[in-house]
DNA sequence: AATATTTTTCACCTATCGTTCTGAAAAATA
DNA sequence: TATTTTTCAGAACGATAGGTGAAAAATATT
């Protein structure tokens, strides 16, 4: 009953998300959102009830997409290799606009409280995923028993946030190689873990990664 | 000759900078800027040629302020201790709005080309300051002769960017302590350098620090 | 005191913001 | 086919954005 929708909600969200991603909440004007999504204003309001709602839906869309993107940190066997792989993917991502969620961290003053909480919770969730791998790593003897795992998880997430933001300066491939290699050395020598060595980028996803599609 | 200005340029810039800092370029509306600076629209336009000019002047103001703020990385004797001290100050800063310049990194799409370059150059300059300390550290035997100093500098700056951004999640003092301690362990054990140990925050300034005044 | 010079005040401008409304087109149901 | 339901395209909404012009107010010079 009724006319068919001329748009696909997920496609619209994907496009809207990318505009918010590049321009930020205030920087992404409704006119641009209409143009880039192809969705007209009326339908946009009916579906998302305004700019706030669209942004919030875009956050959900991003988070939903992360379910399969976080597979690196969730895949067995858990341990340091997963963490290094995740960081490697983040470092070698070619998307130069940071991370949708961590960009939002510096926009909290113009976001409503609910979204602000969502954004902060994302950081906590990332920590938890890293921590899970660290705990497994300790059980497997990759880390000394007295390591501060929670602190180490925070350190790693902090570095992730740093690298996605640093990526906006358009570092060269060589720059990225050196940054990752130094991180790997720090982490392995600093914790005494066995290292899987450095490598090239792949298309696989990561937690704080710059999703390009 | 003529009437006195009812405002102090530096004070105006300080206040404008803080609003841009918290809200971002698009998020800081002219009306708010007028209210917070106390300067009326016309005088604001006359002095700074509009919002762009004001933002650019605020960047200059910030950078100017950093001249004496970068003293930690520039003070003798150069070496790893300076770097650890600088990171420590960044970590323990209580200002929860990130760093004015690194926040701008994620707003590049709404900034004009000149400012964008200014912002990126800031990152490069920070790298150079860290690098200078690393080179001195190598000469002093704090680092092995075959270390990749430029890469290590990028790693450290990346971590700095990460921590100022992470600070927007309002981490506890204990969280900060653990993050810094893990960074210190990574850096010292990862490079084999002598560590000065961890400590509390001081009021001294730093390079990527959150300036609160 | 008079004049010149500069800053400030305040009203107003146009453009665009996010939002809402209207009427017509299209598809599903009766 | 007629009716209902929903989407679509666009105009129009009030509010506010950033930017400006002319006159008033205040200071410095003569």
User: Is the ipTM beyond the 0.85 threshold?
Assistant: yes
Residue B123: predicted pLDDT: 96
Give the pLDDT band of residue B200 (cuts 50, 70, 90).
Answer: very low
Residues of chain A contacting residue B171, judged by C-beta atoms under 8 Å apart: 154
Residues of chain A contacting residue B157, judged by C-beta atoms under 8 Å apart: 166
Residue B65: predicted pLDDT: 85
Compute the average pLDDT of residues B92-114.
95
CB B107 within 8 A of CB A27: yes
Compute the average pLDDT of residues A58-74.
82
The radius of gyration of chain A from alpha carbons, rounded to an integer in Å, stands at 19
- B1-27 tens-digit pLDDT: 666 777 889 999 999 999 999 999 999
User: Distance (Å) from the C-alpha of residue B177 to the closest C-alpha of chain A?
Assistant: 9
Residues of chain B contacting residue A23, judged by C-beta atoms under 8 Å apart: 26, 109-110
- A6-44 tens-digit pLDDT: 889 999 999 999 999 999 999 999 999 999 998 988 899
Vertex A183 angle, CA B70 and A95, to 5°: 85
Neighbouring CB atoms inside 10 A of B146's CB total 6
Distances (CA, A) of A169 to A106, A165, B40, B61, B198: 17, 8, 35, 22, 31
Average pLDDT of every residue of chain A = 86
- A158-187 tens-digit pLDDT: 999 999 999 999 999 999 999 999 999 999
Nearest to A181 among B24, B151, B186 (CB): B151
Residue A67: predicted pLDDT: 65
Do B166 and A106 make contact, defined as CB atoms within 8 angstroms?
no
Nearest residue of chain B to residue A154 (CA atoms): B179
Q: How far is the CA of A2 from the C1' of C27 (A)?
A: 6
Residue B182: predicted pLDDT: 95
Question: What is the share, in percent, of chain A residues with pLDDT greater than 70?
Answer: 86
Which residue lies nearest D30, CA-to-C1' measured? B1
Q: How far is the CA of A41 from the C1' of D12 (A)?
A: 13
pLDDT of A56 above 70: yes
Residue B189: predicted pLDDT: 81
Average pLDDT of every residue of chain B = 86
Residue B37 is encoded by which pair of tokens? 């600076």
Q: For an interface test with B, which of A127, A152, A161, A167 has the most B Cβ atoms less than 10 Å from its Cβ? A: A161
Vertex A194 angle, CA A198 and B156, to 5°: 55
Nearest residue of chain A to residue B104 (CA atoms): A106
Residue A201: predicted pLDDT: 38
Do A165 and B163 make contact, defined as CB atoms within 8 angstroms?
no
Question: Does the CB of B47 sit below 7 A from strand D?
Answer: no
Do B182 and A155 make contact, defined as CB atoms within 8 angstroms?
yes
Q: For each of the domains in chain B, give its residue range(s) and CATH number, in order of start.
A: 7-68 (1.10.10.60), 70-213 (1.10.357)
Residue A71: predicted pLDDT: 78
Question: What is the share, in percent, of chain B residues with pLDDT greater than 70?
Answer: 86
CB B209 within 8 A of CB B94: no
User: On chain D, which bases lie within 7 A of the protein's CB atoms?
Assistant: 4-11, 16-22, 25-29
Residue A205 is encoded by which pair of tokens? 């996803």
Distances (CA, A) of A125 to A23, A80, A116, A190: 25, 18, 14, 24
Q: How far is the CA of B28 from the C1' of D17 (A)?
A: 11
Nearest residue of chain B to residue A97 (CA atoms): B106
Nearest to A155 among B105, B124, B179 (CB): B179
The radius of gyration of chain B from alpha carbons, rounded to an integer in Å, stands at 19
């Amino acid at each position: 009953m009724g006319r068919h929708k001329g748009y696909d909600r997920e496609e619209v969200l994907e496009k809207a998300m990318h505009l918010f991603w590049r321009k930020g909440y205030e920087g992404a004007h409704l006119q641009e959102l209409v143009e880039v999504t192809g969705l007209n204003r009326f339908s946009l309001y009916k579906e998302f009830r305004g700019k706030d709602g669209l942004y919030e839906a875009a956050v959900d869309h991003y988070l939903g997409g992360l379910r399969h993107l976080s597979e690196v940190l969730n895949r067995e066997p858990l341990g340091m290799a997963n963490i290094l792989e995740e960081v490697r993917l983040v470092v070698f991502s070619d998307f130069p606009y940071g991370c949708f969620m961590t960009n939002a961290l510096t926009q909290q003053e113009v976001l409503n409280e609910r979204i602000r909480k969502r954004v902060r919770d994302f950081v906590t969730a990332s920590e938890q995923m890293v921590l899970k791998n660290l705990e497994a790593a300790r059980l497997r003897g990759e880390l000394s028993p007295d390591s501060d795992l929670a602190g180490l998880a925070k350190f790693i997430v902090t570095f992730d946030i740093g690298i996605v933001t640093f990526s906006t300066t358009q570092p060269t491939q060589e720059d990225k190689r050196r940054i990752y290699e130094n991180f790997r050395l720090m982490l392995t020598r600093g914790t005494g873990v066995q290292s899987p060595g450095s490598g090239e980028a792949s298309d696989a996803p990561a937690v704080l990664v710059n999703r390009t599609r």
